[in-house]
Each structure stands twice: as structure tokens, then as C-alpha cells.
Structure 1
């Protein structure tokens, strides 16, 4: 049955309607709240590090207030499910240090017709210390990484390398969202290095990284410090024990000198400074450490003739004659690196 003309009129305004018994498009738009706008929004910012808080979660951020304001204002607008292709233009003005006002112009398409509206949103800028800064300022920590060496104090290179590894681990975890995996202090002491950490995870990764780079081993020692919400709380000391010898140490075994390349269990892989061969010797066969090739000093080659070379001792300025080493190519006027064993000069790589 064909509908009559009467059935196709809008029951509200009397204008023609596209569908029988339904409102026309204009009345449908007029009776539909196609958007709502919150009167105010709040931004919680850490004054120490700039992190922002959403609900109960802190997120690191480097964005300025001018970048955050339009986004916060847009978050106050909520569209009807039938609204299509929404767009929001925002104009923000600061009222005070802690308040801003955003004027919004809103466009969309509703029932195939363009619609426009405006609203105003107050932005509250609230400051609160974040979870990480609160822990750091309160001297909170969950463990310590202690870097020590077997039978000696760690060298300068080892200390610097361990500190660098710790900072790299922290940067990686922080950029990955682990905000509470932080380092609150790095202190060099007589026996080595102490790294105070904010989480057990970062302590484990730092220990593993140092051992992978410098050798040695690590162990963990938990200590019960209390209980919270029925859960036992522990602080863990990660003891990193570097090997007795480090890379580039020059050692003496018998009447020969060797440069350490790698420590393997109870053996040391070395470079023989007499003939240039790689050799593995037992730790117990090493008499003493002469020094480290990183700390060698340069000496001028005064002459090179046959199997002999003459070095100008940089300390005494006297010429010292040594046997030419088969793994070197030395000419008069060159400089070589040397270490001292008493009065004896040792050429190192």
C-alpha cells in the first residue's frame, strides 16, 4: 500500500519528512545532543622530572604546556555515536599560573548534514611529585650493586666501564617504560664501586652487563627488611666479583712477561710479549702483576740495529738496550709503549 502525503510529514514541525512517522532531518538534529563538553579538565605534572599522571599511572613526558593544552581540551569533548567526521579547533589562553581557558569550535556531520558548535573548557594545571621522584627524594632503594675485584681493587678503566654500563641499562629501562628502575647513587669507594638501585630488575641487568663486559661472576644476597600488605619486602645486594686479572694486565710468570687477553676459569689466555704467541697459563703460575698496558708510557726508539733496539728511558733519559721482539717492527725515531719492572723496561702492545 502506497503511503499518503500526510504520513510523510514531520510530526514536530510539519515539514516534509524522508520517512513515514519520523522527524525531519532538521528536527532530528535539533533534538539530538550531538556532543557534550566537560567544563574542566585537570593535568597532573611532576615539577621535578616533567612526567604526567593519567588516572593512577605516571608517564615520562618532554612536552611543554603549550603542546599539552590543546590535547587536554579536546579530551573534554564527547560525541554522539551518530556524529561523523568530527574536528575540533582549539584556542587556549592562560588565566594564571595554574589555570588556562580553552575555547573550542566543533564541527561534524550528523545525519548527512554539517553541524557546528562551541564550548569552553577550563584547564587546571596541578603539580604533584611522581612515584619515581618521591622514591628518590625519600632515599628509597631496593638493592645495591657492589663491584669488587678478586684480591685487588678495581682499576680506573673497570670503574668507569661499570658505571657506564649501569647508566646504559638505566637509560634502556627508562625508555622502555620501567620508571621505577632507576639509579639513585653511584659511589666510588676504596674497594670498588657501589650502585644504589630502585628495583631488583635493574640490579640484575647491571650485574649481568658488567660480568659480560669485564668478566668475573656475580651473586645475589637478599635481606628481609619488612612487610607491606602481607607481602615480605627484600633488599638485594648484588656482589659483582671481577677476576684477579683484567684485560691488558702485564704479568710475569717465570722469566717471561705476558699480556692478559681473557680470563677463563682458572686459566688466563695471554699474549707472550717475548715471541708474540698466544698462550694459556694457569693463574697459580703467575708470579705477579707488573702493570696494565693501558697505563703504559711512550719511549723513543734511539736506534734499531740487527737484533737490538735502544730505547730512551723517559724517566732517566738514558739509553737502554733491549732485544728486538719478533712481533714488532721498530725503526729509529718510532715511539713504543713501555711498562717498568724495577729497572727493566718491557715493551707492550
Structure 2
């Protein structure tokens, strides 16, 4: 313990205090009495004003050198965190307690009323400060790119020898949106779809990065079948002189799609297409046996299209002749005619969906015909 001294500012005696430990710097104001010491003492160091940058489009908040998505209806919690990080408590204070009470002044201003208390020189000290926080509405990098029409890749949905169906186009867009949503959920702010365009022979989906364009194209092919080819185009160079490419991912769906009725012309009759993933798969309409295109035929056999399940109509069952034949009422001539009875036909059915084509009259599986659409059309 050092002996008592006099305050160099006011001359009052200063009680003896503990000497600093070896290596610890001596406090410059230790020689002051308590009254003089607390004249210049600030328990809390607080900024006069803080600003929180918020994207007016998506609600992201700028933190450090990046934009961060938050799930909040207002920014009070963000303001509390910013003020808490910005406040500093005197190192000599012990048993510090504090609280922050926000006051919403208007849409873009929050007053943060902060109360701090602690023990300094065995004396209880309390201090209140008010920090205004301004919510500055701006546009984040991501929303700026979207608004500016930026994209790095295009996924083109097309089909061989035909135009993609409305269902295929709708599903392709759903696949793209789902893929991008998954990336956004991981915090990837570079994930977005800039635009989806309907064109004469399909759709074009403009996507933010080449990697995501490739991912979307692969998912579409995985579900809808077909193939994808890449066509890069040099658009510019970055600041380091590296070439920057925009890539078009051309998705080509197979010539046939699920729901088509085709004739492979192999002598075994028409086939209802069930799947085109990998290679074409379906069911023979004459027998009900499964059908799968041979590996050497690629994704689809050399066949002619006879129609689709949408062309099917219900007709009356006249009589079941045997395991392989059934009499139905021809929907075109209204005459009783005998046709092949595939294994999927219910022998007790009063009516069946049939397709009339150049190959004749064939019964379709009941589960392949959308009854709701058929009823709506009536």
C-alpha cells in the first residue's frame, strides 16, 4: 500500500491505494481524489448516432462488407445488436449491469435508451445514454443485379421434333425455382432467377450463375428426360484479365413424352409411354405387358406417334369374350367391335377409355386418363 497523498487538482487528501502489480502500468489518474476523478469519468463510451443499411427490396441488412438476409418484420433487434456492439464500458468498472430500451420514433428512426451501472473505486455509478439509430433504405448488390437484368446463364427448354408441352414447361420452371430456393436457404445470395421467357419453341430461364444454370439443367433432364449441351459465349474480362463466359444450357427433351401413344412398328402393337427418363418405358396396349426401348435405340425408339391420352374417350363395354378379346362400342361408328383386351382391363367394367388411331382401336389404362380434365371438357 502507498502512503496517502494530496490531489494535485484540488489539494484534498487522497487515501492510500494498492500499488499496481509488477508489469502492470500505473493508472495516470490514480493520484486524483474521487471527486476530481469522477469529474472526467465516463462509465460508457457511446456513439452519437448509428446507421443500419437495409435493402428496401429484400430486407437484407449490411453487416461488415456484405449483405445478410434476416427473417424479421422490423429492425429493432438489429438496432439493439448494433448499439450493443458499439457501446464501450470503462475498464475499471466492476459488477456491470446494463439494459437497452428501444423507442420507435418513426419508420426509419429508433432511439435506443441505454442504462449502465457498475462499481468504480468502490463507488456505485450509473449512466444513461441515448443513441439514435437511422434505418437507411438502400438496394443490395443482389437486388441491384436483378433489377438490372443481370444473368450469367440461360437454360433453354426445347424438345426434339416437337414443342414442349405446357406441363413440361411448367414443371421445368418449378424445378428451377426449387433449385434456386434450396441455394438461397443455405445463405447463397448469388442465387436468383432473373427472368423466365416464353418463346415459340419452349422457354428460356435466365439464371444468376453458370454453376446454378448447370445444376438446373441437370435436374430437368433427370426428371423429364432428354439431354443437355453447353454453349459458352465470351462476354467480357474481369479486373484480373480473366475471361468471363455466359453459358447457354440447351435442354432437349425426348421426341415423345409420358402420355403419348406410339407405334414402334415392331409387330407387337402400340405403346403408351409412361417414362422417358434414361430410355423410353411404357406399356403395350394390346397385352398390358411392360415395354422398354433397347439400349442401342437411345432414349427413344424409331416410332410414329398415334395420339395422346388426352385423345381418349370413354366407350361402353359390350361383352368380354375371353382373356384376350373384348367387345366395345366403336366411338366413331357406334358399332360393336372386337378388340384386344390388355391385362389391365377390369372384366367387370361397364366402360373403358379407348384411343382410335390409324393402328386401330385400343384400350388405355384407366389410371393414365385424367378424368377430371375429361369431365371439365364436357
Q: Do the structures match in fold with TM over 0.5? A: yes
**1:114-125 aligned within 5 A:** 116-125=126-135
Q: Which residue of 331, 339, 361 maps to 1:345? A: 361
Q: Does 1:268 pair with 2:280?
A: yes
1:8–1:250 Cα change, 3 Å: farther
Q: Does 1:163 pair with 2:173?
A: yes
Displacement of 1:104 after TM fit?
0.9
CA distance in 2, matches of 1:111, 1:275: 98
Question: Which residue of 1 is the match for residue 292 of structure 2?
Answer: 280
TM-score (normalizing by structure 1): 0.82
More strand by share: 1
Q: Which residue of 128, 141, 144 maps to 1:134? A: 144
Displacement of 1:346 after TM fit?
2.4
SS at match of 1:90: strand
Q: Which residue of 78, 87, 93 maps to 1:77? A: 87
CA distance in 2, matches of 1:92, 1:216: 58
**1:1-349 aligned within 5 A:** 7=2, 14-15=14-15, 19=18, 34-63=43-72, 64-80=74-90, 87-107=97-117, 116-229=126-239, 230-254=241-265, 255=267, 256-263=269-276, 268-282=280-294, 283=297, 286-293=302-309, 295=310, 297=312, 299-307=314-322, 308-311=325-328, 321-333=338-350, 335-342=351-358, 344-349=360-365
SS at match of 1:233: strand
1:99–1:322 Cα change, 3 Å: same
1:106–1:344 Cα change, 3 Å: farther
CA distance in 2, matches of 1:166, 1:65: 31
Write out per-residue CA displacement over residues 290-312 of structure 1, whole angstroms, 9 at most, x where no aligned residue: 2344x354515443433354545
Aligned residue-pair number: 339
TM-score (normalizing by structure 2): 0.76
**Kept in 2: contact 1:9–1:20 (CA 8 A):** no
CA distance in 1, matches of 2:120, 2:315: 87
**Kept in 2: contact 1:296–1:337 (CA 8 A):** no
Displacement of 1:314 after TM fit?
6.5
Displacement of 1:57 after TM fit?
0.6
CA distance in 1, matches of 2:97, 2:361: 79
**Kept in 1: contact 2:230–2:250 (CA 8 A):** yes
SS at match of 2:174: helix
Write out per-residue CA displacement over residues 124-150 of structure 1, whole angstroms, 9 at most, x where no aligned residue: 111111111111111111121101112
1:318–1:174 Cα change, 3 Å: farther
* Unmatched 5+ stretches in structure 2: 8-12, 21-25, 366-378
CA distance in 1, matches of 2:277, 2:190: 36
CA distance in 2, matches of 1:173, 1:182: 9
SS at match of 2:280: strand
SS at match of 1:325: coil
* Unmatched 5+ stretches in structure 1: none
CA distance in 2, matches of 1:316, 1:117: 97
**Kept in 1: contact 2:286–2:341 (CA 8 A):** no
Displacement of 1:53 after TM fit?
1.1
**Kept in 1: contact 2:224–2:277 (CA 8 A):** no
Displacement of 1:10 after TM fit?
8.9
CA distance in 2, matches of 1:46, 1:347: 59
RMSD: 3.5
**Kept in 2: contact 1:108–1:114 (CA 8 A):** yes
Write out per-residue CA displacement over residues 207-245 of structure 1, whole angstroms, 9 at most, x where no aligned residue: 111111112221211111122313322211111111222
**Kept in 1: contact 2:224–2:276 (CA 8 A):** no
